[in-house]
Structure 1
Amino acid sequence: MRTFATLIAGLAFGLAACGSSVGSEPSEGVNIGMSVSTQNNPYFLQFRDGAEAAAQNFGVKLTVTDAHNDASQQASQIRGFTNRHMTAIIINPVNSDGIGPAVKAAGQLGIPVISADRTVSGAEVAQTLTSDNLAGGKLGAQELAKQLGGKGEVVVLQGTAGTSASRERSQGFTAGIAAYPHIKVVAKQRADFHRVKGQQAMTSLIQRHPGITGVFAENDEMALGAAQALGPKAGHQVKVVGFDGTPEGIKAVRAGTLSATVAQQPRLLGWQAVDGAIKAARGQIIAKSVAIPVKVATKENAREFWTF
């Protein structure tokens, strides 16, 4: 288990190496509000941890709220940050389409907004930071096809409707799996990025499609739920590919329960969100869009990935 100080040092070194730093200008007086879609998900806990590490490193105040996957509650949180005249706001949207008015209101008061992991529709933000979900979906399709030897019946567990992450991962997977004519996608079902819902959905899908040989889940939580439903078949008769690279997801890959996961870098995402928020608050020019690279984690290379 890495300490918080080690996390700060490691992330700071990585960001310096790729040229992303707020520099030596003092950051005192910078107050950032951050609304996370949910803290009941290991991926977003890592995102929060990276943001908190950056805030401590740069000497800024970061206020974190949990929207509990409720779009109206998140809109209220953003309005609260706006009314308190925060220096900048970071949002990890519950719903890309529904948060626009609250984000727009913040922008009208000159408060820069950074959107992390998911996009915002209907309002301009200072910067959007996302993993390359399209590429990740395609990589997931290619890895699943490889695990299946290019043939079989697969199902897809989809994330929350209206989120850019689910939409883009689905598009990437669909494009990727189209290259394998002997693999048939027999069903797609939403499980809202939730483990229990993933288990329930998979239980239902097994009954309707007993010939399933592969599963692509748009996050690790749903993949782990699917593996629970599959029991001893998971990773053997039925190959399961997830997305996120959470510590538990990587552990399951190493154990062989999951066949692979498309690994993101949520701590780096959180760190860069704070870095971008500080720069935007200072009036510095920042990139409008930043894609954080993803990589497939398999049993052969799983030890390369952090498992805090």
Structure 2
Amino acid sequence: MKKIFSLLALLTMIIGLVGCSMDEGTSTKTDTKAKEDDSLKVGLSMNTLNNPFFVAVKEGAEAQAKEENIDLVVTDAQNDPGKQLADVENLLQQNIDVLIIDPADSDAIAQAVKKANDAKIPVFTIDRQSNGGEVITHIGFDALKSGNIAGNFLKDALGGKGKIVEIQGILGTNVGQLRSKGFNEIMEANPGFEVVARQAANFDRGEAMKVMEDILQAQPKIDGVYAANDEMALGALAAIEAAGRLDEITLIGCDAVDPALEAIRSKKLEATIAEPPVFLGKEAILTAVKISKKESVEKEVILDSTLVTPENIDQVKTK
């Protein structure tokens, strides 16, 4: 009987060892398969998705990500720097390979960039820059040039003289600052211009409409308006049209989003500046792929800006 029990115990042990060995083999095979199926995972922290420009950036990124078979995770900071920091922290916990940030605020985003640096996750910015931390590259448009284009358009349209209104963007961003600087370089170079009002509306259509309503009440004579993005231009347009002063004011925006192009075609908006957001989103994903492959990228990539008027609206590529 002792021998029988000993044999049974030995047999049980052998079966257990074989089972363990089979389990380990299955686990290894599953892990290997999972690794082989892994695709590039990219985090995209957007400053807001309550703006057609940034919605189009996201759509361009999503289209390119689908083409490249990339797992793209997009967050919306709702123009709140604190929420964007939390968004980035969340993305860093999701095992992403590359992080793309479109900052809500150029100063505040530095903390989020540094967190990515500490986590050893490659990070770069689009549209707006970070004033801190280490980014591999920045992709955007030349905001100073865009401001110059707007100023020169009004110079040509108004013969270098007139009373001008500037509606500024978010001045906590390099884009808001540089578009204003570029525009005012042209204003200051032409003494026939008088900037009678200059006020920020934070790239928001509703804010711009209210700002323009107040300015229209205070200024009986306005010849030209520069709004630093199309959303604000459309808000200003609504106020100008409601006041019955559409024919006396020349208005230019920036971004070339679809509603602005429609306004140009209907002869309500005189011009905008094409900074195609879809291209920006696509370029961001292509750059993420290069970074994941350890390929070299430029420290800064500047995309083209083009003046859009009724004369060339059908020739300028915006998508």
With normalisation by structure 2, the TM-score equals 0.85
Task: Name the counterpart of 2:279.
Answer: 268
- Trace 1:1-308 onto structure 2 (pairs within 5 A): 29-231=39-241, 232-234=244-246, 236-305=247-316
SS at match of 1:59: coil
Corresponding residue SS for 2:248: coil
Instruction: Please list the CA deviations of residues 83-125 of structure 1 after superposition, one character each: whole Å capped at 9, or x if unmatched.
Output: 2231011111100110111111112222111201000111111
Aligned 8 A contact 1:28 1:59 in 2: no
The answer to whether the 8 A contact 2:275-2:318 is kept is: no
1:303, CA displacement in angstroms?
A: 1.5
Distance in 1 (alpha carbons) for counterparts of 2:58 and 2:273: 20
Q: Which secondary structure state, in structure 2, belongs to the residue aligned with residue 273 of structure 1? A: helix
Identify the residue that residue 8 of structure 1 maps to in structure 2: none
Aligned partner of 2:265: which letter? R
Please say if residues 27 and 278 of structure 1, whose CA atoms lie closer than 8 Å, have aligned partners that are also in contact: no
- RMSD of equivalent CA atoms: 1.6
Question: Could you give the per-residue CA deviations for residues 30-81 of structure 1, whole angstroms, max 9, x where no partner exists?
Answer: 1001011111111111111110111011111101111111110011011111
Higher relative helix content:
2
- 1:149 shift after superposition: 1.9
Contact 1:130 1:290 in 2 (8 A): yes
User: Equivalents in 2 of 1:102, 1:55: separation in Å?
Assistant: 23
1:13 is aligned to none
Rounded Cα–Cα distance in structure 1 between residues aligned with 2:56 and 2:253: 17
* Distance in 1 separating the partners of 2:278 and 2:187: 29
1:54·1:274 contact (CA, 8 Å) conserved in 2? Answer: yes
SS of the residue corresponding to residue 314 of structure 2 reads helix
Query: Contact 1:111/1:281 (CA < 8 Å) preserved in 2?
Result: no
How many matched pairs?
Answer: 282
SS at match of 1:304: coil
Secondary structure at 1:244 match in 2: coil
Instruction: Provide the rounded CA distance (Å) in 1 between the counterparts of 2:182 and 2:293.
Output: 36
User: Per the alignment, in what secondary structure is the counterpart of residue 85 of structure 1?
Assistant: coil
Is the contact made by 1:114 and 1:276 (CA closer than 8 Å) also made in structure 2? no
Structure 2 residue runs of 5 or longer lacking an equivalent are 1-35
Distance between the aligned counterparts of 1:118 and 1:71, measured in 2? 13
| Matches of 1:31 and 1:150, distance apart in 2 | 51
Q: Is the 8 A contact 1:103 1:113 kept in 2?
A: yes
Kept in 2, the 8 Å contact 1:261–1:296? The answer is yes
Q: Is the 8 A contact 1:85 1:111 kept in 2?
A: no
Shift of 1:28: 5.2
In 2, Cα distance between equivalents of 1:79 and 1:305: 39
Q: Contact conserved, 2:276 with 2:318, CA < 8 A, in 1?
A: no
How big is the shift at 1:272?
0.7
User: Is the radius of gyration larger for structure 1 or structure 2?
Assistant: 2
Q: Is the 8 A contact 2:271 2:309 kept in 1?
A: yes
